[in-house]
């Protein structure tokens, strides 16, 4: 069993620590609030010789991800981190990384996208990149950010998967708040992630290969996209296996979907990221006044755990889906669309209400979450559900 | 190394292609004939050429043929007619000639 020590640290500090323990061969990164301290602390590890990583400073995130793609194709284990506008600037390389099947692991500090200018938390950045073919894990706490980052290496590099993987944590709330985190010893993490054996490494001069080929008009482009779909479908089993093995090692649970109070819940809230803790807190309080509330937290957004979610929600009378991102003009936020789709085949159709909350870091007070659960408990016994989405707490 | 056998390519299923569209051999651009893209072809004047080999160095398609360290002909199966060689030649020994009706073999 690993030796674990409990420390007080920010989410960014423990993500940098997890990266050091995973010992990537190469990192190319560009600083952006609120990701900055991840790459700053990692650069410190490199400077002090605490990790033997080729650290490449670049002039933009477009270059950062381009350099990561090149290094990964060369055969290196590659990690990086970004946020918001940075992730948006990487957009074309995000598709290239997944299309070339390069198991790059990136931390993303979730932050709003301009305009107006805002540096605080919401999920617009990652939800904009949800269709780029990256496996996407979400953390509620600094602990989960640490754990997800380590698991991401094993998931991405698994021979059945070979897809880039993102480990998301909420900007400022998780990246900058000091939290209680259990850190494993270096040897245990090294043993868990193992050595990376690249396939088709450009630097393997005994077996020369060509990367970046053309598959246009009449070529097999369509077939390559299908093979990406097949790989991300295979990743479901791998994510669960790696999660189970990590749980065994760390003593901490992992599920693509994690539930609280769902055994006998009448009403449920589906949520991603740091707000899950607040929702659980309110749900616990509401249970004292007789409302049987449950919470479903999504820890893996891509691949989306449809079956697990439908099972977790079976038997409830009303569901609230909390979206920290917009999908302007759609029927609801990105998570709402997934959840309602997951429930389409359910035997009984229950009301699903979409709450957009916390955009640009706007405060999600406990009273606001209380109104969600109060609404739900009334809808569960026949009150009219609101038509359209609800901007939670907006003026 | 034996050649990559792609004879069944048009029947391959999604999971039969190499991972990430990698081509499991190097240098196979030789098999990909790009000469048909050309609208102009380079012609070298042997009388003025100093055999400095700059065109051979600069050609992005390695389409300048040499023998005994001397430029001989252009590989017209691969020359795309970009004109880089003509532009780089220090003594203007290369002229770009429109492909088609003006060529001696067409006249
Ligand atoms: S660059 Fe000009 S002078 Fe030099 S070898 Fe080529 S044609 Fe001859
Ligand atoms: S025209 Fe371009 S491709 Fe053709 S020989 Fe000259 S440099 Fe090479």
CATH of the domain at B86: 3.30.70.20
What's the CA gap between A116 and A129, in Å, rounded? 20
Q: Tell me which residue range forms the domain holding A61.
A: 4-250
pLDDT in tens, chain B (107 residues): 578 898 998 899 999 999 999 999 888 888 888 888 899 999 999 999 999 999 999 999 999 999 999 999 999 999 999 999 999 999 999 999 998 765 555 44
Return d(Cα A306, Cα A345) in angstroms, integer: 10
Together in a domain, A53 and A99: yes
Domain count, chain B: 1
Residue B47 lies in a domain: yes
Give the ligand 1 atom nearest the CA of B53.
5
Check whether residue A143 and residue A209 sit in a common domain: yes
Tell if the CB–CB gap between A99 and B21 is shorter than 8 Å: yes
Q: Same domain, yes or no, for A230 and A275?
A: no
Judgement on whether residues A33 and A104 belong to the same structural domain of the protein = yes
Higher pLDDT, A348 or A84: A84
User: Is residue A337 very low, low, confident or very high in pLDDT (cuts 50, 70, 90)?
Assistant: very high
Q: How far lies A64's CA from each of A88, A277, B40, in Å? A: 12, 33, 39
pLDDT of A201 > 80? The answer is: yes
Instruction: State the residue range of the domain holding B81.
Output: 33-98
Task: List the CATH number of the domain containing A301.
Answer: 3.40.50.920
> Dihedrals φ, ψ of A33, to 5°?
-60, 135
Inside any domain, residue B56: yes
- The residue assigned the tokens 């029947």 is B11
Residues of B with CB under 8 A from a CB of A: 1, 9, 12-15, 17-28
How many contacts, defined by CB atoms under 8 Å, are there between A and B?
A: 55
| Domain finish residue from A250, A275, A306 | A250
The domain tally of chain A equals 2
Tell me which residues of chain A, numbers 207 to 236, contact chain B at a CB-CB cutoff of 8 Å: 207-213, 215, 220, 223-224, 226-227, 230
Q: What is the mean pLDDT of residues A130-139?
A: 98
Judgement on whether residues A126 and A270 belong to the same structural domain of the protein: no
The predicted-structure confidence for A294-311, as pLDDT tens digits, reads as follows 999 999 999 999 999 999
Which one of B6, B18, B21 would you mutate to disrupt binding with A, by most A Cβ within 10 Å of its Cβ? B21
Please tell me whether residues A153 and A45 are part of one structural domain. yes
- Which residue's alpha carbon is nearest to atom 6 within ligand 2? B85
Q: What pLDDT was estimated at residue A225?
A: 96
Atom of ligand 2 nearest to the CA of B75: 5
Reported as a pLDDT band with limits 50, 70 and 90, residue A1 is confident
Nearest CA in chain A to B1: A207
Residues A274 and A382 in one domain: yes
Residue A270 predicted with pLDDT over 90: yes
Asked whether the predicted pLDDT for residue A174 surpasses 80, the reply is yes
The vertex-A211 CA angle with A195 and A42, nearest 5°, equals 45
Assigned domain for B28 exists? no
- Kindly state whether residues A281 and A217 are assigned to the same domain: no
Compute, in angstroms, the gap from residue B91 CA to the centroid of ligand 1.
Answer: 7
Residues 6 or more apart in contact with residue A180 via CB below 8 angstroms: A6, A7, A8, A143
pTM of the entire predicted model:
0.92
Query: pLDDT tens digit string along A47-86?
Result: 999 999 999 999 999 999 999 999 999 999 999 999 999 9
Nearest residue to A360 (alpha-carbon basis) of A89, A142, A172: A172
Residue B12 lies in a domain: no
pLDDT digits (tens, 9 = 90+) for A353-394: 999 999 999 999 999 999 999 999 999 999 999 989 999 999
Q: What's B67-106 look like in SS3?
A: ECCEEEEECCCCCCCCCHHHHHCCCCCEEEEECCCCCCCC
A246 and A288 co-located in one domain: no
Q: Residue B19: inside a domain, yes or no?
A: no
Say whether both A164 and A240 belong to one domain: yes
pLDDT of residue A92 exceeding 60: yes
Residue having the nearest C-alpha atom to atom 4 of ligand 1: B52
CA of A92 relative to ligand 2 center, distance in Å: 31
Name the closest-CA residue to atom 3, ligand 1: B49
For residue B16, is it within any domain? no
Query: Which of A107-111, A214-218, B76-80 shows the lowest mean pLDDT across its residues?
Result: A214-218
Number of CB atoms found within 10 A of residue B107's CB: 6
Shared domain check, A98 and A65 = yes
Any residues with CB less than 8 A from the CB of A208 and at least 6 apart, and which?
Answer: B1, B25, B26, B27
> Can you say whether residue A382 is alpha, beta or left, with left for phi > 0 and alpha for psi between -120 and 50 degrees?
left
CATH of the domain at A95: 3.40.50.970
Cβ atoms of A351 and A114 within 8 Å: the answer is no
A101 vs B15, B20, B28: nearest CB: B20
Token pair of A40, please? 């700053």
Q: Which residue of B14, B23, B26 is in closest CB contact with A230?
A: B14
Rounded Cα distance, A106 and A149, in Å: 8
Residue B2 is encoded by which pair of tokens? Answer: 């034996």
pLDDT, tens only, B15-44:
999 999 999 988 888 888 888 889 999 999
- Mean pLDDT over each residue of chain A, to the nearest integer: 97
Query: Looking at the CA of B42, which ligand is closest?
Result: 2
Q: Does a structural domain hold residue B79?
A: yes
Considering every ligand atom shown, identify the ligand nearest to the alpha carbon of residue B93 and give its number.
1
Centre of ligand 2 from the C-alpha of residue B84, in Å? 6
- Is B20–A210 a contact, with Cβ atoms under 8 angstroms apart? no
In a domain, B106, yes or no: no
Contact A215 B28 (CB under 8 A): no
pLDDT of B102: 59
Burial class of residue A248, CB neighbours in 10 A (0-12, 13-18, 19+): exposed
- Nearest-atom number in ligand 2 for the CA of B86 is 6
pLDDT at A296: 98
Q: Which ligand has the minimum distance to the alpha carbon of residue B52?
A: 1
**Same domain for A261 and A246:** no
Closest residue to atom 4 of ligand 2, CA basis: B79
**Closest C-alpha to ligand 1, atom 2:** B89
Query: Cα(B67) to centroid of ligand 2, in Å?
Result: 17
């Amino acid at each position: 069993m690993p030796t674990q020590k409990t420390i007080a640290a920010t989410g960014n500090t423990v993500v940098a620590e997890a990266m050091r323990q995973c010992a990537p061969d190469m990192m190319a990164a560009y600083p952006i609030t609120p990701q900055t301290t991840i790459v700053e602390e990692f650069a410190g590890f490199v400077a002090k010789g605490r990790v033997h990583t080729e650290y490449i400073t670049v002039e933009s995130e477009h270059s950062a991800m381009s350099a990561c793609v090149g290094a990964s194709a060369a055969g290196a284990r590659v990690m990086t981190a970004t946020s918001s506008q940075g992730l948006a600037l990487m957009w074309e390389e995000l598709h290239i990384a997944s299309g070339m099947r390069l198991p790059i692991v990136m931390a993303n500090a979730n932050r709003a996208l301009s305009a107006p200018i805002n540096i605080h938390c919401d999920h617009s950045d990652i939800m904009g990149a949800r269709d780029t073919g990256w496996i996407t894990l979400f953390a509620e706490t600094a602990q989960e950010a640490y754990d997800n980052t380590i698991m991401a290496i094993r998931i991405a590099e698994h021979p059945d998967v070979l897809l880039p993987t993102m480990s998301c944590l909420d900007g400022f709330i998780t990246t900058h708040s000091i939290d209680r985190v259990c850190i494993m010893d270096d040897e245990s993490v090294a043993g868990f992630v193992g050595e990376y054996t690249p396939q088709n490494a450009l630097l393997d001069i005994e077996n020369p290969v060509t990367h970046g080929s053309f598959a246009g008009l009449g070529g097999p482009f369509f077939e390559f996209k299908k093979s990406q779909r097949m790989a991300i479908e295979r990743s479901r089993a791998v994510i669960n296996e790696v999660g189970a093995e990590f749980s065994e090692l760390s003593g901490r649970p992992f599920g693509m979907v994690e539930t609280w109070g769902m055994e006998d819940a009448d009403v449920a809230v589906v949520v991603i990221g740091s707000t899950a803790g607040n929702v659980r807190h309110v749900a616990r309080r509401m249970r004292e006044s007789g409302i049987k509330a449950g919470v479903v937290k999504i820890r893996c957004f891509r691949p989306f755990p449809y079956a697990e979610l439908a099972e977790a929600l079976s038997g409830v009378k009303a569901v609230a889906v909390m979206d920290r991102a917009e999908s302007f003009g759609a029927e609801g936020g990105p998570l709402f669309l997934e959840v309602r789709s997951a429930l389409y085949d359910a035997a009984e159709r229950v009301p699903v209400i979409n709450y957009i909350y916390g955009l640009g870091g706007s405060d999600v007070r406990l009273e606001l979450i209380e109104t969600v659960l109060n609404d739900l408990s009334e809808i569960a016994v026949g009150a009219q559900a609101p038509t359209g989405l609800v901007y939670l707490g907006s003026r | 190394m034996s050649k990559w056998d792609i004879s069944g390519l048009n029947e391959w299923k999604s999971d039969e292609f190499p991972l990430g569209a990698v081509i499991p051999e190097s240098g196979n651009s030789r098999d990909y004939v790009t000469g048909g893209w050309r609208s102009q072809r380079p012609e070298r004047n042997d009388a003025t050429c100093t055999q400095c080999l700059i065109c051979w160095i600069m050609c992005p398609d390695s389409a300048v043929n040499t023998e005994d360290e001397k430029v001989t002909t252009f590989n017209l199966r691969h020359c795309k007619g970009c004109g880089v060689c003509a532009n780089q030649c220090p003594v203007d020994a290369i002229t770009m000639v429109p492909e088609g009706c003006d060529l001696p073999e067409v006249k």
